[in-house]
Structure 1
Amino acid sequence: MNLFEVALAARENAYAPYSGFKVGAAIRTRDGQVFGGCNVENAAYPQGTCAEAGAIAAMAAAGAREIAEVLVVAGGDMTVTPCGGCRQKLSEFSGDDTVIVMAGLDGERERTTMADLLPGRFSVTHLDGEKHD
């Protein structure tokens, strides 16, 4: 499956009545499964969800846990990157080499890795040795 097409189709279903800013995301897992997500706004603004979070939720619901590649697509002239919260959410299921692609409606604009997108990321390795109650 083409990640750009999946993300673009998901973007079309975004619920963005307040900002008008539609975002779509697609995730390819290490075993080749593809999951899409879109942003969903809410009148109580902090209660909305990002496209990446929607794709992660679909992936997790299907039992997948390892992201190989992510593509995020949004309109406008500026390249849109995942927000800080989504960077951390993506990193939970990604390796340093996971490919992150940012696209506009016309196609790919920028490509990076999880390590470059979120250097010094917090991970489960930080929890090793900690006592959990």
Structure 2
Amino acid sequence: MSLLDAARAVREMAYAPYSHFKVGAAVRGVSGAIYRGCNVENVAYPEGTCAEAGAIAAMVAAGETELVEVAVIADSPSPVPPCGGCRQKLAEFGRHDTPVLLATLAGGTQATTVGELLPGRFDANHMGRAG
């Protein structure tokens, strides 16, 4: 299964009763394993979870801390980029040149990288720690 296919499949599991905007994400760890996540809304809107965050949590729960590829898909007229918080999360576990594929259900795609999504990332060097 391709990374995009994994994101497409998990998108169907999203819990989005308020916005009806389902998002699926998949990340590939260094091991080659694919980890999936979908958005999970909550009636108290800020308490929801993004698809990218879910996929990263699954990766970390499996014992991996580095992602090498990302795919995000939504039913939108154009590819939907991760929110600001998820861009920072992707930057925490990915490198500047980690490829990110953004896609629509209709087949539209946009290829980018973690560094292009978050050029001014906050990292451990800002805290006086090499990271």
TM-score for both structures, normalised by structure 1: 0.93
Q: Could you tell me how far 1:115 is from its partner in structure 2?
A: 1.1
Matched residue, 2:19: 19
Between the aligned partners of 2:78 and 2:114, the Cα distance in structure 1 is 20
Stretches of structure 2 that go unaligned for 5 or more consecutive residues are none
RMSD over aligned CA atoms reads 1.4
Q: Could you tell me how far 1:120 is from its partner in structure 2?
A: 1.4
Q: State whether structure 2 residue 64 is matched by structure 1 residue 64.
A: yes
Matched residue, 1:90: 90
Render the CA deviation track for 1:41-81: whole Å, top value 9, x for unaligned. 00111000000000011000001011101000000212200
Q: State whether structure 2 residue 114 is matched by structure 1 residue 114.
A: yes
Percent of aligned pairs with the same amino acid: 58
Query: Are 2:26 and 2:34, in contact at CA under 8 Å, matched by a contact in 1?
Result: yes
Following TM superposition, the consecutive aligned residue runs of length 4 or more in structure 1 with deviations greater than 6 angstroms are none
Stretches of structure 1 that go unaligned for 5 or more consecutive residues are none
- 2:22 counterpart letter in structure 1: K
Q: Could you tell me how far 1:107 is from its partner in structure 2?
A: 3.2
Q: How many residues align?
A: 130
Query: Are 1:101 and 1:108, in contact at CA under 8 Å, matched by a contact in 2?
Result: no
TM-score for both structures, normalised by structure 2: 0.94
Matched residue, 1:103: 103
Q: Could you tell me how far 1:125 is from its partner in structure 2?
A: 1.8
